[in-house]
């Protein structure tokens, strides 16, 4: 398979990302002593930065790969919301953001010596209703038609529901557009009828009701998810074991290409972004999964939320040929 050929077409891809917008904050430092007040490490802060997370990170991945992206989601009327919107603009992501009274979701990670010491979250997870939901529906109605594919990035923060998925499918399915979902445990009942879901092993186990312990149980879980959701494909990401793509007539196991795994933060975002962009560029499900596997292998080799460039992806594909 000449997978590199699809990368040149990424610039023509226009992907709509719908879901939970998250602002990731990283506090970097070093630890040299334990606090005299409690048995906890004292982190001497050396740096502090914000990056896009959740659905915003999916859109950022698409932009970094050379495609075009619009993100639709909810932010609060707060400083974190302002920072998130500014970051989207700086990264070249078009946004259709709806303001709500809830706080903007922000995940703060304290990193010392390339290891996460602690994470603390500020968020509201209430399901969107009323005028906020209506505004989201209006945005989706106009935006789906203008894009080549749709990604639903579900972090279970209140945006994604069965009603919203039905709304997306009613517009995208008649036009034959890919609707891919990065799922969340407890929400699998919402995804019926989508084109693709990309669960990790834990999510696939929970969604299928089958404890995945070996290849036999993996096959049962993938087939169960296909039947339960009535989707065209299931792409199960398996960490060090790579990925497994389930389609109606076949299963393809794709070994990992990662040289080192330091941090899986945001890897699922990279997988679904790369897969959708490759598929929109004309790749088959198998080809898109293979390209996404290379992209995932690159981001897990870096600490913190990371994205992949076409140059790095091209080099990885060349090494894999």
pLDDT in tens, 39-62: 999 999 999 999 999 999 999 999
For the chain, what is the domain count?
1
Using DSSP, state whether 24 is helix, strand or coil: strand
The percent of residues in the chain predicted with pLDDT above 90, rounded, is: 81
Q: What is the CATH number of the domain that holds 282?
A: 3.40.1190.20
- What's the token pair of residue 37? 């007040």
70 and 16 Cβ atoms separated by less than 8 Å: yes
Number of residues that make up the chain: 321
Supply the pTM of this predicted model: 0.92
154 and 187 Cβ atoms separated by less than 8 Å: yes
60 and 78 Cβ atoms separated by less than 8 Å: no
The percent of residues in the chain predicted with pLDDT above 70, rounded, is: 94
Domain range enclosing 30: 4-320
5 vs 1: CA distance, rounded Å? 9
318 and 310 Cβ atoms separated by less than 8 Å: no
Q: What is the DSSP string of 262-291?
A: S--TTHHHHHHHHHHHHHHTT--HHHHHHH
The question of whether 269 is a catalytic residue gets the answer: yes
What does the mean pLDDT of the chain come to?
A: 92
Q: Which of 20, 100, 148, 269 is catalytic?
A: 269
């Amino acid at each position: 398979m000449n997978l590199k050929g699809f990368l040149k077409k990424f610039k023509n891809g226009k992907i709509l990302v719908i879901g939970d917008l998250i602002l990731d904050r990283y506090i970097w430092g070093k630890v040299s002593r334990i606090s005299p007040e409690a048995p906890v490490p004292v982190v001497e802060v050396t740096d502090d930065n914000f990056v896009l997370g959740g659905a915003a990170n999916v859109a950022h991945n698409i932009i970094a790969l050379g495609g075009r992206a619009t993100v639709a989601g909810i932010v609060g009327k707060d400083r974190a919301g302002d920072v998130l919107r500014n970051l989207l603009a700086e990264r070249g992501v078009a946004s259709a953001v709806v303001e709500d009274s809830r706080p903007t979701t922000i995940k703060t990670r304290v990193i010392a010596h390339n290891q996460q010491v602690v994470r603390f979250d500020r968020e509201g997870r209430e399901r969107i209703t009323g005028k906020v939901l209506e505004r989201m529906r209006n945005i989706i109605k106009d935006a789906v038609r203008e894009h080549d594919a749709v990604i639903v990035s579900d972090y279970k923060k209140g945006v994604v529901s069965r009603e919203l998925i039905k709304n997306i499918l009613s517009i995208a399915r008649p036009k034959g557009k890919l609707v891919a979902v990065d799922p969340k445990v407890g929400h699998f009942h919402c995804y019926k009828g989508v084109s693709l879901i990309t669960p990790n092993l834990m999510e696939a186990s929970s969604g299928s009701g089958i404890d995945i312990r070996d290849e036999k149980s993996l096959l049962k879980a993938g087939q169960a998810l296909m039947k339960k959701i009535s989707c065209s494909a299931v792409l199960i990401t398996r960490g060090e074991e790579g990925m497994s793509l389930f389609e109606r007539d076949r299963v393809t196991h794709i070994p990992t290409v990662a040289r080192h795994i330091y941090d899986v933060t945001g890897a699922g975002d990279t997988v679904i972004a790369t897969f959708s962009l490759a598929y929109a560029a004309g790749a088959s499900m198998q080809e898109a999964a293979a390209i996404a596997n290379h992209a995932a292998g690159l981001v897990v080799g870096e600490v913190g939320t990371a994205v992949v460039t076409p140059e790095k992806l091209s080099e990885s594909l060349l090494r894999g040929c």
